[in-house]
């Protein structure tokens, strides 16, 4: 087993009606928590890195830890650039050993998004790296991505087909109602599964079969973690995410990759807050980071088994 691209992962996921979890990483404890969960449940996994995570930890440090995780667990891991802003960043991470990149041109006018994405695809494919792009705009805040609710737009199915054909992109992140951050819905959660079905049907009609779709902003915002944070001094009021049953339905359709970042942040923060609340005189980082790592592992195990459906996907 090894560092791999997402191509074979997604092929198996589409046929098996499950999705691969894409978890954002920032440090050793998050990597270990995610990878230990995947190894325990024999699931392939995607570790993804945002632009701000690159600035925080550095690509060489992150890749060294990922390679150690592969050597220790033996599972298939893809390392993915999340919301890459430009070709320069794409080149940087490919040189560092990333096997997958996302270029996010969703904030550009359509034709400019097509042109810039095609440029990234041509370069990445020449290096044996696969590319994800985005069409439509998700509301919410995540690192450098900040889209007001009034500017969010659903993905147009006809445009999606045209975009995929013209860019040669390997997977597409679409907007069907998910949202970045911890405050995804003010009312009842709703995902536009009709848009997802329409995109898949139109692609099939064009002879593009089993094309992998991606969901960003798909954390469930675990209420136990939110409660723990608040019980120990936090102020995360009104946070809500995507219900697990909706994500499971999406992963049984054409969605082959589901992004989760906020849930990991909440789990880590809950662990740290609880540890210090119960151990106010403690100051050993191994204590509070170790507890957080355990919470992240439990969270990811639950995602793999009950949301993604990717348990035993390494068989």
Residues serving a catalytic function are 82
Quick check: 139 and 107 in contact, CB under 8 A? no
Closest-CA residue to 182 (of 229, 231, 222):
222
Quick check: 18 and 309 in contact, CB under 8 A? yes
Closest-CA residue to 259 (of 12, 6, 21):
21
Residue reference for tokens 């690192």: 143
Q: Calculate the alpha carbon distances from 177 to 31, 146, 299 in Å.
A: 28, 16, 23
Nearest 5°: the CA angle 27, 30, 32 is: 105
Q: Would you call 129 helix, strand, or coil by DSSP?
A: coil
């Amino acid at each position: 087993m090894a560092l791999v691209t997402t191509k074979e992962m997604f092929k198996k996921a589409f046929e098996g009606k499950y999705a691969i979890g894409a978890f954002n990483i920032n440090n050793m404890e998050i990597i270990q928590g995610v990878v230990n969960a995947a190894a325990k449940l024999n699931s392939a996994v995607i570790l993804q890195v945002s632009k701000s995570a690159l600035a925080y930890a550095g690509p060489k440090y992150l890749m060294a830890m990922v390679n150690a995780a592969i050597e220790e667990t033996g599972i298939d891991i893809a390392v993915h650039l999340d919301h890459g802003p430009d070709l320069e960043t794409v080149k940087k991470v490919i040189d560092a050993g990333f096997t997958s990149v996302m270029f996010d041109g969703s904030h550009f006018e359509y034709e400019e998004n097509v042109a810039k994405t095609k440029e990234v695809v041509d370069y990445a494919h020449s290096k044996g790296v696969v590319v994800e792009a985005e069409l439509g705009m998700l509301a919410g805040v995540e690192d450098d991505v900040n889209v007001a609710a009034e500017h969010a737009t659903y993905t147009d199915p006809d445009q999606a087909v045209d975009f995929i054909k013209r860019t040669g992109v390997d997977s597409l992140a679409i907007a069907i109602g998910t949202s970045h951050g911890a405050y995804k819905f003010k009312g009842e959660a709703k995902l536009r599964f009709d848009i997802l079905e329409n995109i898949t049907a139109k692609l099939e009609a064009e002879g593009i079969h089993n094309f992998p779709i991606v969901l960003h902003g798909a954390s469930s915002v675990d209420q136990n973690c939110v409660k723990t944070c608040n019980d120990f001094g936090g102020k995360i009021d009104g946070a809500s995410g995507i219900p697990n049953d909706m994500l499971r339905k999406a992963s049984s359709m054409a969605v082959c990759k589901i992004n989760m970042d906020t849930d990991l942040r909440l789990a880590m923060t809950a662990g740290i807050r609880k540890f210090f609340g119960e151990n106010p005189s403690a100051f050993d980082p191994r204590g509070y980071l170790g507890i957080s790592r355990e919470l992240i592992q439990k969270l990811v195990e639950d995602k793999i088994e009950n949301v993604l459906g990717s348990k035993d996907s390494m068989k």
